[in-house]
């Protein structure tokens, strides 16, 4: 018999990792008659199955006011404490209404008990879970101790209480092995690993008709080759290495195309990359104004808007030289669309992904001429490229497909209810 499942987070909207992975979980649960409902401060889910509470959003003005006064300092005033608890109480009441309205039988907390982007929400949810005993899965994407901006804070008491809470009715899920080890070491809490997944049992459906003008729209000619960097423009993505790759290839046909915008961490890095590419004679294209959550038309110029998954099929090569990732969605996406990849051996890749035996061009912190020549061979040898991408797809099907998610979600639900997916 299906259960009513309540997803809770600060935001369920757009293409961030939390929104994307929660949608996959919900789809998998729906396939087995479990109905998902949504609670957040920023939502694109249908109003009939969701509850919007704007103070739950990390970008709400009151939450930003709290965060500005709680991080980067070691003490807080009684006024700040009072504000936190006023909003905590409000959000807890809203969560109780959410559970009652949709007859929620199990909660899935998506990163809101992990990283303190919204302290009152974490406290409210922790208290509700303790008061009701409701079965809860806490899905952790990135912990506060992984981010330097939370290192100095005035809310260590709240972090210990709710990020994450150690309660008997919570099962904890992390997305990589080091996170599981660090969680156990810091808190004594055990967790299972569920990696981010894609539906490798069903290859992507590509709309060639809609995207036939994509390359022209972004300024590429018939002979040009798209070197795709499918990430946000933030410093930890290591995009300067992608620039060095294109420079090393030494062919004006190769264009570096970056899909996402800067903004979350400012525009300084983007400006630096633009100058860096110009100094090295690399043609770099920032195309975020062509890319959205959904297809449509740009209001200003009438040009088409594409989704990220419209872009991948047109790429000739994918670069992913990140310095750090919690998992690596872009890596799995590139494998899903059967694209060859250059990857920097960031720690999670080394621990969890590389041992599976993927065939990639791997750099180790610096890009050498050897890696440039490997990329050149792949780009100029279609047979080598085809062997590479087919091999990677086969491995990903074994380790990062929906069947993996299905089995592990079934295990979690059976712990609570004795049922399996």
pLDDT tens digits for 261-288?
A: 876 567 899 999 999 999 999 999 999 9
Q: How far apart are CA 48 and CA 54, in angstroms?
A: 17
Whether 2 has a pLDDT exceeding 90, the answer reads: no
**Across-strand partners of 51?**
39
> Residue 25 corresponds to which tokens in the numbers above?
């979980």
Q: What is the pTM of this model?
A: 0.88
pLDDT digits (tens, 9 = 90+) for 37-63: 999 999 999 999 999 999 999 999 999
> Residue 346 corresponds to which tokens in the numbers above?
């960031």
CA 116 to chain CA centroid, Å, is 17
* Confidence at residue 265, expressed as pLDDT on a 0 to 100 scale: 66
Mean pLDDT over 13-23 rounds to 84
* Confidence at residue 417, expressed as pLDDT on a 0 to 100 scale: 86
> Residue 63 corresponds to which tokens in the numbers above?
């939450």
* Confidence at residue 68, expressed as pLDDT on a 0 to 100 scale: 96
All domains of the chain, ordered by start, with CATH?
Answer: 4-197+402-417 (3.40.50.2000), 214-399 (3.40.50.2000)
> Residue 2 corresponds to which tokens in the numbers above?
């299906």
Q: Are 154 and 126 in contact (CB under 8 A)?
A: no
* Confidence at residue 349, expressed as pLDDT on a 0 to 100 scale: 94
Whether 300 has a pLDDT exceeding 80, the answer reads: no
Concatenated DSSP letters for 202-222? SPPP--TTTTTTHHHHTT--T
Q: Are 228 and 312 in contact (CB under 8 A)?
A: yes
> Residue 374 corresponds to which tokens in the numbers above?
């490997």
Q: In this predicted model, which residue has the larger pLDDT, 81 or 27?
A: 81
Question: For the chain, what's the residue count?
Answer: 421
Sequence-distant (6+) residues with CB within 8 A of 313 are: 204, 206, 208, 211, 337
* Confidence at residue 33, expressed as pLDDT on a 0 to 100 scale: 87
pLDDT confidence band for 220 (50 / 70 / 90):
very high
Q: 14-23, 339-348, 402-411: lowest mean pLDDT where?
A: 14-23
> Residue 226 corresponds to which tokens in the numbers above?
């798209």
Mean pLDDT over 297-303 rounds to 76
Q: Are 303 and 217 in contact (CB under 8 A)?
A: yes
Please confirm whether the linkage preceding 140 is cis (ω < 30° from 0): no
Mean pLDDT over 354-374 rounds to 96
Mean pLDDT rounded to a whole number for the chain: 94
pLDDT confidence band for 124 (50 / 70 / 90):
very high
- Residues of the chain by 3-state class (helix, strand, coil), percent to 5: 45, 15, 35
Q: How far apart are CA 352 and CA 322, in angstroms?
A: 15
**Across-strand partners of 227?**
256, 317
Q: Are 242 and 285 in contact (CB under 8 A)?
A: no
Q: In this predicted model, which residue has the larger pLDDT, 180 or 265?
A: 180
* Confidence at residue 421, expressed as pLDDT on a 0 to 100 scale: 65
* Confidence at residue 303, expressed as pLDDT on a 0 to 100 scale: 81
pLDDT digits (tens, 9 = 90+) for 387-417: 999 999 999 999 999 999 999 999 999 999 8
Long-range contacts of 298-305 (CB under 8 A, 24+ apart): 303/217, 304/210, 304/213, 304/214, 304/217
Q: How far apart are CA 135 and CA 83, in angstroms?
A: 29
CA 249 to chain CA centroid, Å, is 30
Whether 116 has a pLDDT exceeding 80, the answer reads: yes
Selection from 199, 204, 231, 178 nearest residue 396 by Cα: 199
pLDDT confidence band for 20 (50 / 70 / 90):
confident
Q: Please, what is the angle between helix 17-30 and helix 402-417, to 10°? A: 70
* Confidence at residue 297, expressed as pLDDT on a 0 to 100 scale: 83
* Confidence at residue 147, expressed as pLDDT on a 0 to 100 scale: 87
Mean pLDDT over 75-80 rounds to 97
Selection from 187, 404, 173, 215 nearest residue 306 by Cα: 215
> Residue 170 corresponds to which tokens in the numbers above?
């919570």
Return the DSSP state at 350.
I
Mean pLDDT over 337-359 rounds to 96
Q: How far apart are CA 393 and CA 190, in angstroms?
A: 31
CA 38 to chain CA centroid, Å, is 18
Whether 143 has a pLDDT exceeding 90, the answer reads: yes
Selection from 183, 23, 41 nearest residue 121 by Cα: 41
* Confidence at residue 264, expressed as pLDDT on a 0 to 100 scale: 58
Say if residue 64 is exposed, middle or buried (CB neighbours under 10 Å; 0-12, 13-18, 19+): middle
* Confidence at residue 420, expressed as pLDDT on a 0 to 100 scale: 67
Whether 322 has a pLDDT exceeding 80, the answer reads: yes
């Amino acid at each position: 018999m299906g259960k009513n499942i309540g997803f809770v987070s600060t935001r369920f909207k757009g293409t961030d990792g939390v929104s994307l992975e929660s949608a996959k979980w919900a789809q998998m649960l729906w396939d087995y008659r479990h109905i998902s409902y949504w609670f957040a401060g920023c939502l694109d889910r249908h109003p009939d199955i969701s509850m919007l509470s704007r103070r739950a959003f990390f970008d709400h003005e009151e939450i930003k006011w709290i965060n500005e006064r709680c991080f980067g300092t070691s003490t807080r005033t009684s006024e700040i404490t009072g504000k936190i608890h006023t909003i905590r109480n409000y959000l807890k009441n809203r969560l109780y209404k959410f559970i009652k309205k949709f007859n929620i039988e199990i909660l899935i907390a998506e990163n809101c008990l992990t990283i303190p982007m919204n302290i009152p929400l974490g406290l409210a949810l922790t208290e509700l879970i303790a008061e009701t005993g409701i079965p809860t899965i806490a899905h952790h994407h990135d912990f506060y101790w992984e981010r330097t901006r939370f290192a100095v804070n005035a809310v260590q008491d709240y972090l210990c209480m709710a990020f994450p809470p150690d309660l008997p009715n919570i099962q904890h899920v992390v997305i990589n092995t080091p996170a599981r080890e660090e969680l156990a070491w810091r808190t004594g809490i055990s967790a299972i690993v569920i990696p981010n997944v894609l539906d490798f049992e069903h290859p992507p459906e590509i709309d060639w008709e809609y995207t036939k003008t994509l390359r022209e729209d972004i300024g590429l000619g018939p002979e040009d080759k798209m070197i795709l960097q499918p990430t946000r423009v933030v410093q930890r993505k290591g995009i300067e290495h992608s620039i060095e790759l294109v420079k090393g290839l030494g062919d004006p046909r190769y264009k570096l195309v970056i899909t996402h915008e800067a903004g979350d961490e400012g525009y300084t890095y983007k400006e630096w990359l633009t100058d860096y590419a110009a100094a090295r004679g690399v043609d770099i294209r920032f195309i975020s104004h062509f890319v959205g959550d959904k297809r449509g038309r740009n209001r200003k110029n009438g040009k088409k808007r594409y989704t990220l998954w419209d872009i991948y099929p047109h790429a000739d090569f994918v670069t992913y030289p990140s310095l750090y990732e919690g998992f690596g969605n872009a890596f799995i996406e590139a494998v899903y669309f059967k694209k060859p990849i250059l990857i920097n051996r960031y720690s999670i890749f080394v621990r969890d992904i590389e041992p599976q035996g993927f065939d990639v061009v791997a750099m180790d912190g610096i890009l050498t001429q050897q890696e440039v020549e490997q990329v050149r061979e792949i780009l100029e040898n279609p047979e080598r490229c085809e062997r590479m991408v087919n091999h990677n797809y086969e491995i990903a099907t074994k380790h990062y497909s929906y069947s993996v998610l299905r089995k592990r979600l079934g295990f979690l639900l059976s712990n609570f209810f004795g049922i399996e997916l």
